Every structure is written in C-alpha cells, then in structure tokens.
Structure 1
Amino acid sequence: MLEVRAPRGRRRLAPLRRASLRLAVAGTTMAAAAAMLAPAAQAAPADDVRINEVVTTGGVNDSIELFNKGTAAVDVSGWILKDDNNGSKFTVPSGTTLAAGAVRAFDVSASFGLGSSDKARLYLPGGSTLVDSFTWTSHSAPSWSRCPDGTGAFGQASLTLGSPNNCGTGGGTGPEAWPGGTSVATADGSDVFGSDLSGLYEEGSVLWGAQNSGKLWRLVRDGSGGWRPDTANGWTSGKTLRFPGGSGAPDSEGVTLTAAGAAGGAYVASERNGDASGTSRLSVLRYDVATGTGSTLTATKEWNLTAGLPAVGSNAGFEAITWIPDATLTAAGFTDESTGAAYDPSRFGAHAGGVFLVGVEGTGTVYGYVLEDGGAATRVATISSGMSGVMELQWEPQAARLWAVCDDTCHGRHTTLKIGTGGGFVQAAVYNRPAGMADLNNEGFALAAADECAGGTKPVYWADDSNTSGHAIRKGTLTC
C-alpha cells in the first residue's frame, strides 16, 4: 500500500494556502538518462527544459515554472512534476508546448504541497526519467528563481511566475531608470480630493478618477497643465457609487473605459462593499456616465468574481483595472488559459469587445476576464506582475504593453509586460519611479494618448492615495 507522507512543516492538498513555485536544475545530467530511455531525437530538446522558479509562500497556489532555454519548441505534454515524495504527481496537460525562450507556470496545489524543506522534480512522461530538480531548506521569500533564466543558480527573488525572472543583484534584470523626465509637479488644486484617490484613466480631455470612498470623479483640464472637477451635470464633488439596485458603497479602486469611451460606460474595480467592510467582494461594476445629472450612480451591471479567485483580505483585493481590445489580443497570438488555445472572441456571447485585466493588491497577480453582457465571466489569463502588489494597470496601445504599478510598498516600481511568443504576458521591463518624485502612496497611474506627444515625450499622471502636502494628482513625462 502506498503511503503518502506529510512531514512536519509540509502542506498537502491545501489550496487555501497559496504559494508560487519555480524549480531549478540539480547537478543531474538528464541528457544521459534520456538518451537511454527515450528516442535520441527527443533527448536533446528535452534537455533544454528547466525548472526556473519555485515559490512556496505567498498569495498564489504552489506552482512550478518551466523554461525552454533551447532554440526549438518542446512539447511537454504528459511530463511529470513531483515534490520529494514519489507518490505525488502532477501531469502537464496534453497540448502544452514551450516555445524557445518561453516560460510556463503550473499550479500543482491540487496534487501536492511544497514545504519549507522540500524538492521539486521534473520527469519525462512515465515519471522515471529525471529531467531537472531543485532542493531547498527554507520557504521562498517570495520566490526561488534561477538567474539567468534556465541556466543560472537559484536565489531569492521577487515573484515572476509566467514571466522572465527578476533577481536584482542576484544576476537577473534589475529596475531601470524612469523612461521619461526626472521632474514631477502637482497637477491639482490644494486639498480638492483629500485622501483615497486611487485609479485614473485619461480619455482625451477628461481624466476619470476612482476614490476608495465609493466615488467617481470626472475631471477636466484646468488650463495650466493640471485637472479640476467638472462642474457640469452633477460632477462638481464627484458622484457617489452604488451597487445594482441602489444599495451599498463600492470600495472603488480602479476605473477604465473601452473603445466605446464614456458612451459605453465606465468600468470600476471594487474590492468590497464599504457597508460590510470585513468581507471581500471582488467585483467589476459598469456605470452609465454619459447621461444623467444626479449626484449618484447606480451600477447597471456587476460581475462578482470572488468565488473563482484565491481568498485575500477584504482590503487587499481588486485595486486596478484596464481593458485590451479583442483585435489586439488575437493579432498578438494571445493564449486563452481556459482552453489552452489561441484566444477566440467568438466563443463568447456579446461582450465589450475585449478582455478586462484586474490586479490584486495583496498578491501582485493580474487576472484577465471576458465579461459578457449577460453576466457570465470567463477567466482567460492569470499573470504574475513580478511585484508584491498591484495598485494600477494601464494598457498602452501605442507601445502594445501593459503597465503594472506598485505604490510605496514597492518604492514606486513600474513593470511593463508584453504578449510573448508563447501567447502569455511576459515581463518586458522594470522601472523605478522618476527621480524627482518622493516615495508616495501612488495607487493611480494614467498615460496620455499618442496625440499628446511633444518633443518626444507625453504626459503621465499619478494619484496619491495619501494626498501628500494637500495634493492627490502629480504629473510627469514618459518617452513616446
């Protein structure tokens, strides 16, 4: 009878305790073993697949990431992942191919857990030919990552499941200087908003702002490079937000629009109902912001996504939202995680013509959803931002890149991600905040469109949740 061991300090089948996990090469020479037990044509490319990162603590499920360091794609269908117990086994789904230079993370938590002193092992189909392994004696904090990817040694690093590793001084790619001007200036009047201004989104001559207190602002240009509240149609003091039916107080953290602009509604990310602040309620809410003159907005639709996501603290949930057009995703070869195949918008009913990405503050994870008009929601992406928290997301169409922004928790770091050859989002760059900006509690970030480029730069804006020195909005520049 097979005994499944659960040593002290280990976790078995514990999906509510999440950790990301990436694995490294032990000193085993897999190529020799593969040559004896597999066809010669398979041995060489198989030897190019390496465990790349292991995370055993944190806000996501225990996962193992693989990296293809070779020059040809490798079909890893049926390959086996194990911990230090031979009775544990996770089988890579059929149809899984790693392109050259691609990474892929696998959630193994439903098959086994990874402890503080454990091992991650990769086998060819059948589970007898060892390809790679990594052993550790303490939990990741938050990640055990190989640097450079696929070839280097393992060390402690930031969580980057599904993206190239970021090991800082450990040998990976460290943050770069801000790709724009170093100076930053205030862009609002004194004490206009107070604290809790969070998500931002620029729509031409309008800047939309979400405030945690359940309020949405419509801002217009003030004539001196900054923004002031619109005084028309009931927007003077912002509009109070309600859930469908007119009740509750959404903890509104992020706001975005689709290609339809304001006429298509404003989409707000909310992490809880302020009237029940101890309970997480991870929702996307749609509001009609193009009509009406009242001071209150009642959501025309709510997509409550709480049940399908890992549990987080009630004040550590959805903090950011952005939208990417279907046409952009299909042209880039985006892979739908719900099918493992190329994203096909026609699979879904009527929706907003794109995918909404929402960022979780407590884990730094970004999730992509198709939100159908009828109320259905399908998760099509799970993306590691590489940071401990995500406070803002912005899709920049001109550069075809996703901005993920962290506040003073990460010292104002900004990460950009692009759709890689494997169809998933991979880290493109990591930037420090502008040298002229203090380490503020910036929970909002907005980029101007390409038509505002002048002298090679365009404006960008940050929202400071703490209203430092009486100002909540600051302005800088970004290279076009």
Structure 2
Amino acid sequence: METVTSPLAGLRLRRIVPSLAAAGALAAGVLTAAPAQAAPADDIRINEVVTTGSVNDSIELYNKGTATVDVSGWVLKDDSSSSNYTIASGTTLAPGGFRAFDVSGSFGLGSSDKARLYLPGGSTLVDSYTWSSHSAPSWSRCADGTGAFKSAAVTLGSANACGGSGGSPTTPVAWPGSSTVANADGSNVFGSDLSGLALEGSGVLWGAQNSGKLWRLVPNGSGGWKPDTANGWTSGKTLRFTNGSGAPDAEGVALTSAGAAGGVFVSSERDGSGSSRLSVLRYDVSGSSSSLTATKEWNLTASLPSVGANAGLEAITWVPDSALTAAGFKDAATGAAYDPAGYGAHTGGVFFVGLEGNGTVYGFVLQDSGTFTKVATVSSGMSGVMELEWEPQANRLWVVCDDTCSGQHRTFAVNASGALAVTATYNRPTGMSNLNNEGFAVAGAAECVGGSKPVYWSDDSNTSGHAIRKGSITC
C-alpha cells in the first residue's frame, strides 16, 4: 500500500496499489478498498459568486455535510495570491447552512476571474470557481454544494434559484435562521388587527393597525418593542384621508430611503367597513397631534383587479430605483429597461403592493404630482399576500402569506429577463405556530451578529395576548 496526504485538513487517505498478481482478483471483485472518509473541510463549497450589480464582489459558502464546520480564519482569494479576505473568528456553518461574504473591502471580482477558498494560513486550497464574464446577475452552483455553476438570480444567504433538475425554488425548504421564536411585546398591548410592520434603523418599528391607526414603537430593553410615549404616540395615532375624515383600513406600512422624514406610507383597502378603496396614503408624522391627516393619496382602485372589500391592499414596500436599474429590471409599462428619469419627480423608487384577494404583487411609480404608473405585475404563486418586505442586504423581495398558506414566505429577485421571479420558498420557523401573521420586518445589515440578524412578525389575531414575535435569519 502507498499512503498519500490530502490537501484537506491534513487528512490521510489510503490508496490501494495492487500487484500484477492481484489485478485479476481486483477486476473480479475479490479485492476491494474501503471508501475514504470525507474531511469536514471538504463539505464546505463555494456556492454562489456575484461580481457586479448592487451586491457586487460577494462569495457565498455552503455546508453540504452533516456536521457544523468552524470556518474561522479561512481565507477567500480571487485569481491573485496577494488578495486575501480572512473570515472572522467565531464563524461557523451549520449543516445545510449558507453564508455570504462581501469581499469588496479586500479585493474586487472581475469579469474574468476566480473565487478561491483556503484553509487558515491561505496555502491549502479547499474549493475554487473560475469564470470568463461578469455574473448575470449571479453565478450559482446547482444543485447547492454539488452541482455545476450556472447563471441565476441573486440569492446570497439562501438556497440558489436553480429550478429544473437543481430543485424548484417553489418547493418549500426549512426556515433560513433559528427555529426559535419569542414574544417581542408586552401582554395585550395592541389587541387584535396589528398588521404591517416597517423598521426604521434599529430604533423604531412602525406598525399599521386595521382600525385606522399607526404605531411608533421603540425598543423595550428586552429585545422587543413598546409604544413610544413621546409626541402623542402612547396609544397610536388615528389616521384620516386627505380631507381630514374617514377611517382608512390600514394594512401595510413602508418607508423610503428618507425614513420617516420623507413621510410614512400606508396601504389601505377601504374606508372603515365600506367598499374597496385601494389606496396608498402618505403621512407627515413629525407633529404631536393624536391624529394624522394624509398629505397625499394615490387611489389605485381603477388600476387593480376587483376583489372583496376586505381582501384588498394588504401589503406595501418600497424598492429604490438604484437597486432596480442595477439588476436590469424591465418596466412592464414600456417593455424596456426601467428608466426612473422617465417618470419625473417621484420618491426615488417603486412601491410594490400586495393584493390579498388574488395573491398578486404590483409595482407602481407614485409621482409627486399624485399620478402613478404600474410598472410590474408579479404572481406570488400563493393564495394570498399579507406582507411585502424589501431586504437591501440580499437584494430580494419577501412575499409573506399568513395561516392561509401555513405561514410560507417566498423571496423574489430580478432575473436575467428583467422580471421579478421566485428564488426560494421557506416554511415558517418550526418554533412558531401557524399564526395569522400579517406583518414581517427584516433588520438591516448593521444588526448582523454571528451571521444572523433579527426579523419580526405581527399576528393580527393577538394570539395568547401577543401581537409581535421575534426570530432570526442568516445575514
């Protein structure tokens, strides 16, 4: 027998070199060699590479094995040996786990380049991938961890958008974070009907309540949220239409890049218990009055399909123009690449709204003049849309269904054709019951700790006296 040394973690493999006399016996199946055991390091694969766009210079790793692997001190490189990105201490990858690393601070990934992964010290190669043109928008391994690389949607931190033999993105997979979920509010603070959520940095969580109320929430010191007691927010603020009357059935809430200073946007499906009135309303929240009158209304009713009065605009989120143009988003109104300049003064982005009654997402440019243009129609593939959330860190749109769909979440990204296409479908965390969740908010990159960050859900039914719950996802 001859013994050779593997480049992976110093693992020693046994190679059987038969004598001439044994060759016949080997061919006859009499002599067999025991399969070598794979080193844990060999379970870590380069799984996705993004070289251009709004999340450029990122490399994702995936653990295809059955044991958690500590990748502290491992080194990522491009085609130059002088380029080094060292993974932070304390970084691990659980079995089936994904983790993306932004290497732009250490080196750039070019149009003809390599991504290479080394053990600590940077001399023992674990895995590599070479390409000859920029990602469009992502080079993704299909199937995850084992297959060949192909062009696909950006899915950093989650399962690749392989489709076909690589696995359908509409097939539900496990929640991409902790299975544990905890209450994140006091007992019976809000009661029922708390719906849409929107985070503003790490210090404010906005909540829309169906009774025509907007809440400004602040940290409670225990990882959760409580009503702000300043400036008249203690019991939330009553919402009115632009004429100062009515009771908007507030379902969703969103902010632009300007934050609350640029207005808080609420999606409403009707006036009180009346007929459909599918509107987006903008509110100036800077005052101390106990009620808020909308400064602008975009009534989208005539531009959307007819649905039940209580099955209208359930969700809203805002996506910046820069993210859409970088990804090659195609404008359904013009049939060409989306050109923000063609719409004059607007909010610097596109508002996406979800229609509960048909499970469809629509994109609108809401112009400052009060006019609007529909630029996208996207089928969620689910029976209802209860919440939408744009996650800038991963350039993906979350589409959330409630207990009607057993709490499934889907992510969408702009594909090579310029359309928003599903990239993954997730089951709810196993530690959360099948709740009537109508709100979902994802923390920003600044809150990533140990590779994960908080997410929050609002339960319209206030189950067991709690309306807000906290979980996590991988960054």
Structure showing greater radius of gyration is 2
> Partners in 1 of 2:242 and 2:177 — Cα distance?
41
Rounded to whole Å, the distance in 1 between the matches of 2:397 and 2:353 is 12
Residues 1:424 and 2:419 are matched in the alignment: yes
Partner of 1:439: 434
Match of 1:180 among 177, 186, 200: 177
CA distance in structure 2 between the partners assigned to 1:259 and 1:404 by the alignment: 20
- What residue is the counterpart of 2:292 in the other structure? 297
Q: 1:229 aligns with which of 221, 227, 230?
A: 227
Does residue 399 in structure 1 map to residue 394 in structure 2? Answer: yes
In the other structure, the counterpart of 1:469 is 464
Of 321, 324, 334, which aligns to 2:329? 334
Corresponding position of 1:286: 282
Residue equivalent to 2:338: 343
Tell me whether 1:200 sits opposite 2:172 in the alignment.
no
- What is the alpha-carbon distance in structure 2 between the residues aligned to residue 165 and residue 247 of structure 1? 50
Deviation of the 1:309 alpha carbon: 1.0
Once the two structures are TM-superposed, the CA of residue 426 in structure 1 deviates from its matched residue by 0.5
Matched position secondary structure for 2:424: strand
Query: TM-score, length-normalised on structure 1?
Result: 0.64
Letter in 2 for 1:447: V
CA distance in 1, matches of 2:163, 2:371: 34
Match of 2:196, SS? Answer: strand
AA partner of residue 182 (structure 1): S
Alignment correspondent of 2:372: 377
Report the alpha carbon displacement of residue 245 of structure 1 after superposing the two structures with TM.
1.1
Q: Using the alignment, how far apart are the partners of 2:164 and 2:341 within structure 1?
A: 36
C-alpha displacement at 1:349, in angstroms? 1.9
- Percent identity among equivalent residues? 72
- Contact 1:254–1:321 (CA<8 Å) still a contact in 2? yes
Partner of 2:128: none
Structure 1 residue 270 and structure 2 residue 265: aligned? no
**Deviation at 1:174?**
1.3
Q: Judging changes above 3 Å, is the alpha-carbon distance between structure 1 residues 173 and 252 closer, same or farther for their aligned structure 2 residues?
A: closer
Post-superposition offset of 1:218: 0.1
Q: Distance in 2 between matches of 1:244 and 1:236?
A: 23
- In 1, Cα distance between the equivalents of 2:304 and 2:395? 27
Letter in 2 for 1:450: A
CA contact (8 A) 1:320 1:360 kept: yes
1:121-152 per-position Cα deviation (integer Å, ceiling 9, x unaligned): xxxxxxxxxxxxxxxxxxxxxxxxxxxxxxxx
Instruction: Report the counterpart of residue 144 of structure 1 in structure 2.
Output: none
1:55-454 aligned within 5 A: 173-204=170-201, 205-274=203-272, 277-289=273-285, 291-454=286-449
C-alpha deviation, 1:257, in angstroms: 0.3
**Residues 169, 423 of structure 2: 8 Å contact kept:** no
Deviations 1:219-268 (A, max 9, x none): 00000100000000000000000000101000000000000001000000
User: Which letter does structure 2 place at the counterpart of 1:227?
Assistant: W
CA separation of 1:164 and 1:298: change in aligned 2, threshold 3 A: farther
**Segment drifting more, 298-307 vs 343-352:** 343-352
The 3-state SS of whatever aligns with 2:464 is: helix
Residue by residue, what CA displacement relative to the aligned partner does 1:393-414 show, whole Å, maximum 9, x if unpaired? 0000000000000000000000
Q: What is the CA-CA distance between 1:278 and the residue it aligns to?
A: 3.6
RMSD: 2.0
Contact 2:307 2:357 in 1 (8 A): yes
> 2:133 maps to which residue?
none
Alpha-carbon spacing, 1:384–1:450, altered in 2? closer, same or farther (3 Å): same
State the alpha-carbon separation in 1 of the partners of residues 442 and 277 from structure 2: 28
Q: Within 2, Cα distance between the matches of 1:164 and 1:212? A: 39
Aligned positions, number? 316
Q: How many Å apart are 1:308 and its aligned residue?
A: 1.2
Contact 2:459 2:467 in 1 (8 A): yes
- Paired residue type of 1:431: Y
Q: Distance in 2 between matches of 1:218 and 1:172?
A: 36
Query: Would the alpha carbon gap of residues 425 and 164 (structure 1) be closer, same or farther in structure 2, given more than 3 Å must change?
Result: farther
Greater shift after overlay, 295-304 or 345-354?
345-354
Contact 1:166 1:174 in 2 (8 A): no
Structure 1 CA distance for aligned equivalents of residues 360 and 464 of structure 2: 31
Post-superposition shift, 1:165?
Answer: 8.1
1:166–1:265: structure 2 CA closer, same or farther, 3 Å change rule? Answer: farther
Contact conserved, 1:265 with 1:288, CA < 8 A, in 2? yes
Corresponding letter in the other structure for 1:213: S
* Structure 2 SS opposite 1:188: coil
Are 2:473 and 1:478 aligned? Answer: yes
Report the Cα distance in structure 2 between the residues aligned to 1:345 and 1:212, rounded to whole angstroms: 32
SS in structure 2 at match of 1:335: coil
Kindly provide the CA deviation profile for residues 337-373 of structure 1, in whole angstroms up to 9, marking residues without a partner as x.
Answer: 0000000111112100000000011111000000001
Displacement of 1:215 = 0.2
Partner of 2:53: none
- The C-alpha deviation readout for 1:368-395, integer Å capped at 9, x for no partner, is 0000010111000001111110000000
Large movers: runs of 4+ above 3 Å: 163-167
Unmatched 5+ residue regions in structure 2? Answer: 1-135, 137-160
Alpha carbons of structure 1 residues 172 and 181: separation in structure 2 relative to 1, 3 Å = closer
Evaluate the alpha carbon distance shift between residue 447 and residue 166 of structure 1 in structure 2; reply closer, same or farther with a 3 A threshold. Answer: farther
Preserved CA contact (<8 Å) 2:169 2:424: no
